[in-house]
């Protein structure tokens, strides 16, 4: 793929070196007698796994894909027994290099997480971070997998919807595509494979339903209120039944501006809204990256990864099933957001803490709370029951990262303190801790976040969502 000279915000030489390494990986995949792909089970993971599944299938390379929650020693042992000639991990693996090395079979890691461990002779590790490229906002597992498949064959541009859905799933579209994502989007535009609309991305078919049922953005005054939605649409002169992908840029901008006003009034932060106003990607054959992303994410979170993989490869029936799962998940997230709107959150020294009824939506609730419901001077921690443990999900903002936030480190310290497990990215981290250890874990997170963001360790007055 050409494009070293077209990378917004990245050093062209680094992009070129990365694409060169991606081509070498592509050549090895095409030569493999069989490939076992292990992908993470979230939206980014399923998209990246689906891209490889489709591309290898088209190239007549026998391929099998397993969606996994994490690379546990049990998973490693199971894989080792099957002695696959080549293992590829996508959106997972960089944090478990030493464990993968113990497979004693060739492994290619395609991941953007912070690397941990050394690996060894069995491993090939393709991670933008190793090329001095942005792996937090500028490339996700799907980006890496897509660039590898493009190096296998230009025909794989046909899977662009899945590639952009993966980027949205990891929320790297916020603030506009950059880094390696920017390289992909720019070339897709040149090839007329995508229509970009600037504004607040909305999900669903019709404008009316997007506003009534939408959670991202979560507009408190409109959510679930048909009368309020109808009045607002009349005000901006939009047909409630208009399909989102039929809006002109001017109509989309007008609606976005009106929604931004609503969000500012409910207390959302102007800087975060500036990020939320971004490109939404629509495809000539219909649908948007946002809808596809939500559908695939729901498949993973609701324990139906095989439906998600089939949808990522383009199976129509699977896509319809995935869309229904997405509706279910959206309803559960909305139900968890409503009490937070009503003030059900507490403010610790370093976080806003919200309680969520189920672990599968904790990350999403934390992210949406941070974006739309609190003053974002500190990250949001969502806590949910998760079997015999507690799930912790921490989400921060880009502005907080610029101030020094590193949630991967904060979560690492917290789980080490209480005997749990976890990690992630500077902007988003998760962990599982023993029941009863929340306050100790929170103390450790608070201590670290206060240091990183130079917050007062005690005494910053509690903020609450405005208007509640």
Phi then psi for residue 356, to 5 deg, are -125, 135
Identify which of residues 141 and 287 has a Cβ nearer to Mn ion in the complex.
141
By CB under 5 A, how many residues form the interface with Mn ion? 5
Q: Give the shortest CB-362-to-Mn ion separation in angstroms.
A: 17
For every residue of 101-159, DSSP letters joined together read HTT-S-EEEE--SPP-S---TTEEEE-GGGGT--SSSS--HHHHHHHHHHHH-GGGGGG
Identify which of residues 91 and 446 has a Cβ nearer to Mn ion in the complex.
91
Interface with Mn ion includes 91 (CB under 5 A)? Answer: yes
Identify which of residues 135 and 287 has a Cβ nearer to Mn ion in the complex.
135
Q: Give the shortest CB-211-to-Mn ion separation in angstroms.
A: 29
Stretch that binds Mn ion, among 44-52, 53-61, 79-87, 98-106 (CB under 5 A): 44-52
Q: Give the shortest CB-91-to-Mn ion separation in angstroms.
A: 4
Spatial separation of the C-alpha atoms in residues 418 and 303, rounded to whole Å: 28
Q: Give the shortest CB-298-to-Mn ion separation in angstroms.
A: 16
Binders of Mn ion in range 122-161 (CB under 5 A):
140-141
Binders of Mn ion in range 208-227 (CB under 5 A):
none
Interface with Mn ion includes 448 (CB under 5 A)? Answer: no
Q: Give the shortest CB-181-to-Mn ion separation in angstroms.
A: 12
Q: Give the shortest CB-284-to-Mn ion separation in angstroms.
A: 27
Identify which of residues 95 and 176 has a Cβ nearer to Mn ion in the complex.
95
Stretch that binds Mn ion, among 39-47, 102-110, 300-308, 352-360 (CB under 5 A): 39-47
Interface with Mn ion includes 44 (CB under 5 A)? Answer: yes
Sign of the CA dihedral running 364, 175, 278, 352: positive
State the pairing for strand pair 278-282/63-68. Answer: unpaired
- Which residue is nearest to Mn ion, using beta carbons? 44
Q: Give the shortest CB-128-to-Mn ion separation in angstroms.
A: 12
48: its two tokens: 């990246």
How many other C-beta atoms lie within 10 A of the C-beta of residue 459?
7
Binders of Mn ion in range 170-189 (CB under 5 A):
170
Identify which of residues 53 and 211 has a Cβ nearer to Mn ion in the complex.
53
- Of 462, 422, 464, the C-alpha closest to 441 is 422
- Helices H, strands E: what count in the chain? 18, 13
Count, residues in the chain: 468
Q: Give the shortest CB-141-to-Mn ion separation in angstroms.
A: 4
Burial of 158 (0-12, 13-18, 19+ CB in 10 A): middle
Identify which of residues 296 and 353 has a Cβ nearer to Mn ion in the complex.
296
Identify which of residues 145 and 238 has a Cβ nearer to Mn ion in the complex.
145
Identify which of residues 140 and 163 has a Cβ nearer to Mn ion in the complex.
140
Identify which of residues 91 and 208 has a Cβ nearer to Mn ion in the complex.
91
Own/partner pairs, 206-209, CB within 8 angstroms, 24+ separation: 206/240, 206/241, 206/242, 206/243, 206/244, 207/233, 207/238, 207/239, 207/240, 207/241, 207/242, 207/243, 207/244, 207/247, 207/255, 208/233, 208/240, 208/241
Identify which of residues 3 and 128 has a Cβ nearer to Mn ion in the complex.
128
Interface with Mn ion includes 429 (CB under 5 A)? Answer: no
Is the Cβ–Cβ distance between 380 and 449 less than 8 Å? no
Q: Give the shortest CB-142-to-Mn ion separation in angstroms.
A: 7
Q: Give the shortest CB-129-to-Mn ion separation in angstroms.
A: 13
Stretch that binds Mn ion, among 125-133, 164-172, 334-342, 456-464 (CB under 5 A): 164-172
- Of 263, 203, 206, the C-alpha closest to 230 is 206
Binders of Mn ion in range 393-422 (CB under 5 A):
none
Determine if residue 455 is left, alpha or beta; phi over 0 gives left, psi from -120 to 50 gives alpha, anything else beta: beta
Interface with Mn ion includes 111 (CB under 5 A)? Answer: no
Which position has the token pair 């080549």?
A: 86
Is the Cβ–Cβ distance between 401 and 136 less than 8 Å? yes
User: CB neighbours of 208 closer than 8 A, spacing ≥ 6?
Assistant: 229, 230, 233, 240, 241
Query: Which residues bind to Mn ion, rule: CB under 5 A?
Result: 44, 91, 140-141, 170
């Amino acid at each position: 793929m050409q494009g070293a000279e077209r990378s917004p915000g990245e050093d062209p030489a680094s992009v070129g070196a990365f694409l060169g390494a991606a081509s070498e990986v592509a050549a090895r995949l095409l030569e493999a007698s069989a490939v076992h792909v292990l992908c993470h089970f979230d939206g980014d993971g399923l998209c990246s796994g689906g891209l490889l599944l489709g591309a290898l299938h088209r190239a007549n390379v026998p391929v099998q894909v397993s969606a996994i929650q994490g690379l546990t020693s049990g998973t490693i042992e199971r894989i080792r027994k099957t002695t696959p000639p080549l293992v590829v991990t996508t959106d997972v693996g960089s944090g478990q290099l030493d464990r993968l090395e113990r497979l004693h079979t060739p492994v290619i890691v395609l991941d953007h997480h912070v690397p941990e461990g050394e690996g060894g002779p069995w491993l090939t590790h393709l991670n933008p971070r190793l090329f001095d490229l942005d792996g937090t906002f500028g490339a996700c597992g799907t980006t890496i997998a897509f660039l590898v498949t493009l190096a296998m064959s230009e025909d794989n541009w046909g899977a662009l919807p899945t590639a952009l859905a993966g980027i949205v799933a990891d929320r790297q579209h916020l603030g506009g595509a950059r880094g390696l994502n920017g390289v992909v989007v720019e070339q897709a535009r040149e090839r007329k494979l995508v229509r970009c609309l600037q504004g607040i991305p909305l999900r669903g078919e019709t404008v009316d339903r997007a506003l009534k049922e939408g959670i991202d953005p979560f507009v408190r005054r409109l959510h679930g209120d048909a009368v309020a939605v109808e009045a607002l649409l009349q005000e901006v002169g939009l047909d409630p039944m208009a399909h989102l992908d039929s809006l002109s840029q001017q109509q989309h901008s007008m609606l976005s501006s009106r929604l931004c006003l609503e969000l500012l009034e409910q207390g959302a932060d102007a800087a975060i809204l500036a990020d939320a106003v971004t490109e939404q990607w629509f495809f000539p054959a219909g649908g948007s990256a946002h809808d596809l992303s939500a559908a695939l994410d729901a498949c993973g979170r609701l324990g139906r990864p095989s439906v998600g993989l089939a949808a990522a490869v383009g199976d129509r029936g699977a896509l319809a099933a995935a869309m229904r799962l997405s509706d279910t998940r959206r309803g559960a997230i909305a139900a968890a957001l409503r009490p937070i709107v009503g003030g059900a959150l507490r403010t610790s020294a370093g976080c806003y803490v919200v309680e969520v009824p189920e672990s599968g939506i904790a990350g999403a609730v934390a992210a949406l709370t941070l974006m739309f419901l609190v003053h974002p001077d500190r990250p949001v921690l969502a806590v949910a029951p998760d079997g015999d443990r507690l799930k912790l999900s921490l989400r921060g903002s880009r502005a907080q990262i610029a101030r020094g936030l590193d949630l991967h480190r904060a979560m690492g310290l917290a789980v080490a303190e209480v005997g749990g497990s976890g990690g992630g990215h500077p902007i988003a981290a998760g962990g599982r801790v023993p029941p009863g250890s929340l306050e100790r874990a929170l103390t450790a997170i608070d201590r670290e976040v206060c240091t990183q963001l130079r917050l007062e360790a005690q005494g910053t007055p509690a903020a609450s969502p405005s208007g509640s």
